[in-house]
Structure 1
């Protein structure tokens, strides 16, 4: 009993001591890299991201080799080493994923999205974020596959699965049709440049900004702080508006119904003064046109521009409020109104002075003149 206990505790003690030494060595290397990386943001990021997974990998590998060399006769040796291998595989996958994330963050840092013309940066951010999700998923799947291959039973199962791969592929394809469609749609969105992170879109009659793109769904941050979650296949199968597809600058219109008495030139000058008084206007477009003139009113359209959609919305509201106040204060007679004209009934053949009108020859079509009688005969036939 005593010998068995010694055989059990001694290898574990040696493995624990080796693990502590390895952990101390990793910590010293970590401190040295941080000191060396004070002037390198990339080295600091790699050191911080990879610190924990490297600790796990080094310690687990140290324990694995220590137990393998010192516990030859222990009954628990094979089971312990198998579990240790599984954890090592997971730690290595964690390390690889961390390094990939660091590389992707370094690529993202080169493209700033807090600048006015950020279309290219948003496209790159969308693609890199999608690549990050795909690579992390691939690393996780590969790590799981390697873990399964450490079991002899899994190898036999793998052979059986490969033998029936055709039938299983058909069943899986039918069962996961929508999932696969959304996954491929997500990859298509990332690399087709149809929609990017930060794009302003109109979907389902809602105005919002693309907040997140995954392999299965897209999150649209609606203007009133709601979140509209749509499958990625929606953006490949249905039409939608992308207000920032090529650039963020936009044009917007403000409509006015006014009376015909309004001097349009004065209103055009006032619109220009109003736009110059606000920082919402980008200075590109200031147009006022009469787009409709009906019997009761004129319809004017003010066309204005802004650097992005949120500023454009505020600018349109500002122009509408300012011009309404200007019309009310300076030209109240030009406000929309309804007109009605009252006239008295008059005899058909009476004049304004009450005299009966005489009928001259040019007032008739089918009689009184030679040509009129000829037309009458053509329509009614010859006189009997």
Structure 2
């Protein structure tokens, strides 16, 4: 009989405990629904509150559900001290802690919503806030996860002493952890440094070294441990955050997106610099890519077999600079081939005649040839060749070939003497000048050869019309099509407002260092803000 009463008593206590638990959970859900409805009504006037409600409604509902269940379970007047009762109560407590961690983890995402709201209204601070909010959100979420795990471990009595010892030895643990995860922690701190020092922002155009080559790209994403770089051919390069804190890199849009470009072309020594300057000026004036800021043409090198002519030009964005460089190079080369072909680079060679003697001439033979040469150039060499009997020459008698050479040389000398007498000038002889051995050729038809026509004429009108009718596709990488314009906007930098804000920040920092910060405007000294500013911040 006593066993039956005891079973009935346990059943009644279990039903009461279950009722209290379910009732408490229902009350918690009801309270959560009421609060969510109130926030729904209030969020119609505030986008920040609406974003907070959307992000936290699920964890908020789960948190109040388990809080109500734990409260009802604890308020149940049931004399139950078994192990199962305590285990269920501890499980509900862990669920409440986990839901609270979920709630705070989701609340950290509110930073991104605030950034996007500011991005739509105030583009001046949007890039900086977006970069910093991404890093700050990840840091806060990491802290929330670690804190939630620590609190859950502290609910176990057996884990309190080891955890307290572990926290007490935090110095040793931090040293060991730092040595084991040096690169990871270094990237994390580097990411925080990049976010809050404003070295780079999302949208900046930078130049980095990847695999030994220089790559130009746009900062697409800035995380806690790595940076995503989108380069010009739409590839993504992931670089650790400590790359930008430990190595030098170029930030093309740090204080402005305008740039100077250069085009180098090699010409021959007689290059007409004045004509090239006129043609470059005409090309730049006719191009919409030039920002009319600066340009010049200079001869920067004259080593080797050619002269280097450099054209410096300016453009508003890196994309415009690249397209303008290519356009100037193409048009200037075409003009040079058409108008000044004699100034194109060329390689000069001097042929050298080499006569190979295969016969081995002995010393006696050399002496005989020397005697013959002396006899030919003697004083009586002006006489007729018939007066010198070849048959009496001892050498010619032995060598018929040598006799023929002697006769030919005498005949040639006789002809030369006759020509000198016929073409001798009437006046006194003139001394030769240095220009007699060198002739400067300036006629393009004589120098250019096949490159220039003998008689320059106007271009073929049909060919000119066919070239003018083309739509220009394929001539530019950053303009001329929808995709190219999008690429141009991508490489245009974070915007003029961001650059102006950076300059103002530098000025304010300099004034702060000198103690010359101007006083705040009226309405800020008493802690009150203007009405328009207050309404903007409330949103």
Bin the TM-score by the shorter chain.
Answer: 0.7 to 0.9
Is the contact between residue 68 and residue 77 of structure 1 (CA under 8 Å) also seen in structure 2? Answer: no
- Which of 67, 73, 88 is equivalent to 2:73? 67
Q: CA 1:338–1:310 in structure 2 vs 1: closer, same or farther (change >3 Å)? A: same
Relative to structure 1, the CA distance from residue 266 to residue 78 in structure 2 (aligned partners, 3 Å threshold; closer, same or farther) is farther
C-alpha separation in 2, matches of 1:165 and 1:44:
41
> Partner residue of 2:105?
97
The CA deviation at 1:155 is: 0.9
The CA deviation at 1:156 is 0.9
Task: Give me the whole-angstrom Cα distance separating, in 1, the residues matched to 2:121 and 2:327.
Answer: 27
* RMSD of aligned alpha carbons: 3.5
Instruction: Indicate if the aligned counterparts of 2:111 and 2:133 stay in contact, CA closer than 8 A.
Output: no
2:104 partner SS: helix
Does the residue aligned with 1:194 lie in a helix, a strand or coil? coil
In structure 2, the residue matched to 1:45 is: 51
User: Aligned pairs, how many?
Assistant: 346
Contact 1:19 1:59 in 2 (8 A): yes
3-state DSSP of counterpart to 1:282: strand
Flag the structure with more relative contact order, 1 or 2, with Cα contacts below 8 A and sequence separation at least 6: 2
Return the match for 1:148 from 149, 153, 175: 153
Partner of 2:244: 235
Q: Distance between the aligned counterparts of 1:160 and 1:291, measured in 2?
A: 72
Partner of residue 186, structure 1: 191
Change (3 A) 1:193 1:356: same
Conservation of the 8 A alpha-carbon contact between 2:262 and 2:325: yes
C-alpha distance in structure 2 between counterparts of 1:269 and 1:87, whole Å: 80
The whole-number CA distance in structure 2 between the counterparts of 1:188 and 1:219 is 16
Tell which deviates more after alignment, 151-160 or 165-174. 165-174
SS in 1 for 2:160: helix
CA distances 1:133-176 after superposition (whole Å, capped 9, x unpaired): 11111122111111111111221112332454454444333223
Give the alignment's TM-score, normalised by structure 2.
0.56
Corresponding residue number in structure 2 for 1:285:
294
- Distance between the aligned counterparts of 2:198 and 2:113, measured in 1? 20
- Check the 8 A contact 1:108/1:128 in 2, yes or no: no
Evaluate the alpha carbon distance shift between residue 323 and residue 114 of structure 1 in structure 2; reply closer, same or farther with a 3 A threshold. Answer: farther
Which of 79, 83, 91 is 1:83 aligned to? 91
Counterparts of 1:1-384 in structure 2 under 5 Å? 4=10, 7-16=13-22, 18-20=24-26, 22-23=28-29, 25-27=31-33, 29-70=35-76, 72-73=78-79, 75=82, 76-107=84-115, 109-111=117-119, 121-162=126-167, 164-204=169-209, 205-294=214-303, 296-340=305-349
Using the TM superposition, name which of 43-52 and 67-76 deviates more. Answer: 67-76
1:370 equivalent in structure 2: none
Q: Secondary structure at the match of 1:221?
A: strand
Describe the SS at the equivalent of 1:80: helix
How many angstroms apart in 1 are the aligned matches of 2:294 and 2:217?
Answer: 24
Distance 1:280 1:328 in 2: 24
| Structure 2 unaligned spans of 5+ | 1-6, 354-423, 432-539
How far apart, in 1, do the equivalents of 2:27 and 2:170 lie?
48
In 2: Cα distance, 1:45 partner to 1:268 partner? 60
Q: How far apart, in 1, do the equivalents of 2:288 and 2:36 lie?
A: 50
- Equivalent in the alignment of 2:524: none
Q: 1:30 to 1:229 in 2, by over 3 A?
A: same
SS in 1 for 2:233: coil
Q: Is the 8 A contact 1:209 1:220 kept in 2?
A: yes
TM-score (norm 1): 0.76
